[in-house]
Amino acid sequence: MKKSFSLLVVLVLALTFAGAVFANGGSESSTDAAGSGNLEASLALAGQVDALTAADGQPLIKVSGTGREVPARPADPEALPEDNPLHWWDMEFAGWNSTKKNIPDSPKDGAIGKKVIMIVHGDHPWTTACINGATKVADVYNMDFKALSPNWDLAVQNQMIDQAINERPDLLLLIPLDAKTAPQQARKINQAGVPLIMFNTLPEAEAMDYCIAWTGPDDFGQFRKLSHLWADKLGKEGGVAYIQHAPGGSPYFARYWGPRSELAEYAPGIKVLDAQAPGFEADKTQQLVSDWLTRFGDEIVGICAADDSAQGLGISEALKKAGREDIVVIAAGNSKQGMDLVKSGDIYAITYQTAEGDGALAVKTAADWFNGEELPPVRYLPQHMITIDDVEDFYPPQW
Amino acid sequence: MSDLEQNKTDLRSVSQTGFLKILNVAGIYGVVVLFILLGIFLQLLGVINNFMTASNMLNIVDAVSMLGIVALGMAFITYSGHFADLSAPTTMALTGIVAVQMLQFGFVAAIVSAFIVGTIIGLINAFAIGKLKVNPIIWTLALNYMTLGVIRVIWANKQIYPDMIASSEKAVELFDNIYRLRFFNKIALPMIMLIILVFLFHFVMSKSKFGIQLKITGAAKKSAEYSGINVERMIGAAFIISALTATLGGLTVTSLSRVGAWYNGAGYDFKAVTAIVIGGMTLAGGRGSIIGVLGGVLVIGLMNNLMTLLGVGTFSQDMIRGIIFIIVVGLNAKSLRNLGRDDA
């Protein structure tokens, strides 16, 4: 009896598995279904997409209008000192000189009804806003759109990539969780014949060879620009300290070496006193800044933070406690806490980092590819610095 | 005393290392004094500046006051022989986000709701670990993940802000002041909370009947049961106390960050255990004190302060903290083995 029951269970499981496999096999790319007749209708939706707005009232899709001036690559950037901006060329301009490999041609049959899977890096309110932005654009094109989150686990992200490949989408959007692993992920997707667009976080340069394009914030460019504002406010002299992003990802380099290497040329009178990565906890940042004030006293006149929320609040509390509101603070933005601190004068300037726009630009770029548009290898979100003069324009916050 | 016990005592006295001797004689406050002397010495040599100033000392205590609040409550669990409460981070996050949500009904409603939720989490832990005797590490870890999921589902993975929800500006101001209120413009409210909890918990742990019964429960659970102590109630009470201090910590950290979010409180489990163990409380239970845990918290604050003043990088700081934790746990385990309790 027991044996028969076991056999029955095994049989049911086997049938369920086989059913799932066949069902999966049936879920094919909608390319054929979409048909070439979609193209005109898809192109006609451009105006509707342009009219979309983010939760902060700003236009949802903003592409950097003027483009980015890309200097010639030095023969060996690594050989240059770290405070030379060109030392970071391979990271800052990753993708601009990529040699595309096995990139599929655009079907040129429109974006309507396409099956697009987006794999992000992990759960966070920023990510929720990013997916909201992406969904807004996907809805306009009536895409079969799905977002997956590996919750900051690289192994899970790799599994999700396998799962997505099995589903045969028309295109895959990916935020690489780890810059160094990104080339392997991109190669795998590429070899499976699935068109790929990477976005938000910069991967190692090799990954760019296997994707149609990369879209996202120009973190290096933003921070180079922000550092000019900062230096001007400081009179191009004095001691400054940096609170860094989590090591490993491109923001760690862009938000520390970006301004540091820029100021080595623009304001050499500014001296770097220290740089630390206390994480994204306000209390730890507060202790760090309090200790800096003890250690450097009047020598420290500026702080640059990789995050305007927890880090921004930690800085602000420490400065208030010590009565050192003379210190000029800049940060990557633009969280609600960060904008509140700009409004109250605790932070001098933050960068505009549209979360919804980030996701939306990736989906829009996918739509442009389906529409047969010629795409640049890199598409940046626009650069903008938020100060007390225009902070009100960015309320309510996106996340 | 039997021969076996005599041998163990002899072995203990022979095998004590110098550091352990210092710990045993002067307690954790010997280490606090050593760190302060090191700071003064480095200041005299001109290696660091302004270490021995009132503002720096206040900064040190200020920086670890939230950790202290959480660690003091969790210490009851360790004392009861149930290691730690790994659900503390999400208890902090959940109570914090509930408080922010309930600010729409006023400040008092927010605080009361947070403590009701904290008590419920404590009761769940108390039932599972005290009554059902589930492994405390596995259970609290699982509950931590479950609570995290609950927060994400209910609030759709978004964070919420006091000033966008509260019924009045006064409610926002009061909530803001949980972290920011300062007495004499220097002493922050969390520091006052810490001091009050130290006195209260010291009395409860070392002077009250509950404390004595908890000690016996932690040191020798079977003996406690045979002597008529309601062990289930003792363990349950320890988890409820821990949940309540995690609630207080959650309210404070949410007030500081001005946001209710699932990630508030992350890392407080390991930080609290580190403080408890450095403070001389054994993970096997029944040994240690609240004053010792306070010492452990102060050592962490002093260590962080000195390392930053010396310009030690963040990653090296993490490494040093990890090494010190391993050394202290190792010494603790060795000490327990010498006492014939190798279950640490």
pLDDT digits (tens, 9 = 90+) for A349-377: 999 999 999 999 999 999 999 999 999 99
- Quote the domain boundaries for residue A267: 220-352
Compare CB distances from A290 to B63, B66, B263 and report the shortest one's residue: B63
Is B156 in contact with A340 (Cβ distance < 8 A)? no
A106 and A198 part of one domain: yes
Within a domain: A10: no
A42 touches chain B (CB under 8 A): no
Q: How many domains does chain B contain in total?
A: 1
Band (pLDDT 50/70/90 cuts) for residue A178 is confident
Within a domain: A333: yes
A99 touches chain B (CB under 8 A): no
Is A309 in contact with B253 (Cβ distance < 8 A)? no
Task: Tell me the shortest Cα–Cα distance from B137 to chain A, in angstroms.
Answer: 22
Compare CB distances from B257 to A274, A282, A290 and report the shortest one's residue: A282
DSSP string, B15-27: H--HHHHHHHHH-
Within a domain: B343: no
Is A297 in contact with B313 (Cβ distance < 8 A)? no
Residue A269: other Cβ atoms inside 10 A: 11
Give me the pLDDT at residue B13, please.
43
Compare CB distances from A313 to B159, B257, B262 and report the shortest one's residue: B257
Task: Tell me the shortest Cα–Cα distance from B103 to chain A, in angstroms.
Answer: 18
Give me the pLDDT at residue A16, please.
62
Q: How many domains does chain A contain in total?
A: 2
A360 and A347 part of one domain: no
Within a domain: B221: yes
Residue A144: other Cβ atoms inside 10 A: 17
Within a domain: A31: no
Across chain A, mean pLDDT equals 91
State which H helix or E strand residue B240 sits in: helix B231-257
Q: ipTM exceeding 0.90? A: no
Band (pLDDT 50/70/90 cuts) for residue B315 is confident
Is B55 in contact with A322 (Cβ distance < 8 A)? yes
Residues of A in contact with B158 (CB under 8 A): 125, 128, 399
Is B59 in contact with A340 (Cβ distance < 8 A)? no
Band (pLDDT 50/70/90 cuts) for residue B17 is low
Give me the pLDDT at residue A66, please.
53
Band (pLDDT 50/70/90 cuts) for residue A97 is confident
A244: tokens are 């860094």
A183: tokens are 């080339």
Within a domain: A391: no
Within a domain: B344: no
Given a cut of 50, is residue A238 above it in pLDDT? yes
A227 and A313 part of one domain: yes
Given a cut of 60, is residue A18 above it in pLDDT? no
Task: Tell me the shortest Cα–Cα distance from A245 to chain B, in angstroms.
Answer: 12
Using the Cα atoms of residue A137, residue A354, residue A153 and residue B134 in order, give the sign of their dihedral: negative
Given a cut of 90, is residue A4 above it in pLDDT? no
A274 touches chain B (CB under 8 A): yes
Task: Tell me the shortest Cα–Cα distance from B92 to chain A, in angstroms.
Answer: 14
Is A277 in contact with B63 (Cβ distance < 8 A)? no
Is B314 in contact with A297 (Cβ distance < 8 A)? no
Compare CB distances from A295 to B257, B261, B308 and report the shortest one's residue: B308
- Quote the domain boundaries for residue B17: 3-338
Give me the pLDDT at residue A333, please.
87
Q: Which of A141-155, B94-108, B236-250, B330-344 is predicted least confidently?
A: B330-344
pLDDT digits (tens, 9 = 90+) for B39-49: 999 999 999 99
The whole-number average pLDDT for the span B188-201 is 97
To test the contact with chain B by mutation, choose from A274, A283, A299 the residue with the greatest count of B C-beta atoms within 10 A, namely A283
A153 touches chain B (CB under 8 A): no
Band (pLDDT 50/70/90 cuts) for residue B20 is low
The whole-number average pLDDT for the span A1-30 is 58
Is B152 in contact with A287 (Cβ distance < 8 A)? no
Is B159 in contact with A399 (Cβ distance < 8 A)? yes
Between A and B, how many residue pairs show a Cβ–Cβ distance under 8 A? 90
A61 and A165 part of one domain: yes
A89 and A212 part of one domain: yes
Within a domain: B157: yes
Considering only alpha carbons, which residue of chain B is nearest residue A312?
B257
Give me the pLDDT at residue B276, please.
95
A262 and A166 part of one domain: no
Is A294 in contact with B158 (Cβ distance < 8 A)? no
Residues of B in contact with A125 (CB under 8 A): 157-159, 261
Distance of CA B68 to the CA centre of its chain: 5
A276 touches chain B (CB under 8 A): yes
Given a cut of 90, is residue B125 above it in pLDDT? yes
Is B313 in contact with A128 (Cβ distance < 8 A)? no
Considering only alpha carbons, which residue of chain B is nearest residue A247?
B315
Band (pLDDT 50/70/90 cuts) for residue A13 is low
Is A337 in contact with B158 (Cβ distance < 8 A)? no
Give me the pLDDT at residue A373, please.
95
CATH number of the domain bearing residue B223: 1.10.3470
Give me the pLDDT at residue B243, please.
98
Given a cut of 60, is residue A130 above it in pLDDT? yes
Residues of A in contact with B55 (CB under 8 A): 294, 322
Compare CB distances from B48 to A276, A295, A340 and report the shortest one's residue: A295
Considering only alpha carbons, which residue of chain A is nearest residue B258?
A337
Given a cut of 80, is residue A249 above it in pLDDT? no
Is B49 in contact with A282 (Cβ distance < 8 A)? no
User: Which A-chain residues 246-265 have CB contacts (< 8 A) with chain B?
Assistant: 247
Given a cut of 70, is residue A14 above it in pLDDT? no
Is B180 in contact with A317 (Cβ distance < 8 A)? yes
Give me the pLDDT at residue B14, please.
40
In DSSP terms, B327 is beta-bridged to none
Residues of B in contact with A396 (CB under 8 A): 164
For A261, list phi and psi in degrees, rounded to 5: -70, -30
Compare CB distances from B158 to A128, A287, A310 and report the shortest one's residue: A128
A116 and A132 part of one domain: yes
Is B49 in contact with A295 (Cβ distance < 8 A)? yes
Is A294 in contact with B56 (Cβ distance < 8 A)? yes
Compare CB distances from A283 to B253, B263, B305 and report the shortest one's residue: B253
Tokens 């935020």 -> residue? A175
- In this structure, are strands A270-276 and A238-243 parallel, antiparallel, or unpaired? parallel
Task: Tell me the shortest Cα–Cα distance from B263 to chain A, in angstroms.
Answer: 9
Considering only alpha carbons, which residue of chain B is nearest residue A323?
B185
CATH number of the domain bearing residue A110: 3.40.50.2300
Residues of A in contact with B262 (CB under 8 A): 123
The whole-number average pLDDT for the span B88-99 is 98
Interfacial residues of B (vs A; Cβ cutoff 8 Å): 48-51, 53, 55-56, 59, 62-63, 66-67, 152, 156-159, 161, 164, 180, 253, 256-259, 261-263, 266-267, 301, 304-305, 308-309, 311, 313-315
In DSSP terms, A147 is beta-bridged to A118
Give me the pLDDT at residue B7, please.
45
Band (pLDDT 50/70/90 cuts) for residue A197 is very high
Within a domain: A28: no
Task: Tell me the shortest Cα–Cα distance from B80 to chain A, in angstroms.
Answer: 29
A93 and A198 part of one domain: yes
In DSSP terms, B183 is beta-bridged to B187
Task: Tell me the shortest Cα–Cα distance from B269 to chain A, in angstroms.
Answer: 14
Given a cut of 60, is residue B2 above it in pLDDT? no
Give me the pLDDT at residue A35, please.
57
Give me the pLDDT at residue A67, please.
64
- The pLDDT > 70 percentage for chain A reads 90
Residues of A in contact with B100 (CB under 8 A): none
Given a cut of 50, is residue B10 above it in pLDDT? no
